[in-house]
Amino acid sequence: MVTLDGDEAGRIHRAKLAEYLEGKGVKTRTYELPEGFDIADRLVEKYAKAGCGCRQCQQMRSRAA
């Protein structure tokens, strides 16, 4: 798995990387992240919803409230 940020540079490089890998015979699947998000944000969001008590997850829950 390769994850790139949800900004314009991430979108551009995601497409280029997928094209390169597919050219080498590697099957790819791409997913878009919301603008300004990166994979760390997604992981914190996932674990915050699951009840994680770490500082980052607590902050995520307080922003969502």
- C-alpha to C-alpha distance for 58 and 51, rounded to whole angstroms: 9
Confirm whether 2 is domain-assigned: no
- C-alpha to C-alpha distance for 37 and 10, rounded to whole angstroms: 10
Distance of CA 30 to the CA centre of its chain: 11
Q: How many domains does the chain have?
A: 1
pTM metric for this prediction: 0.56
Confirm whether 1 is domain-assigned: no
Q: Which two tokens stand for residue 15?
A: 């497409």
Per-residue model confidence as pLDDT tens digits over 8-58: 888 899 999 999 999 999 999 888 777 777 777 777 778 877 888 888 888
- The boundaries of the domain holding residue 49 are 8-64
Angle between helix 39-49 and 55-64 (nearest 10): 80
Taking the alpha carbons at both ends of the chain, their separation in whole angstroms is: 32
Confirm whether 3 is domain-assigned: no
Confirm whether 59 is domain-assigned: yes
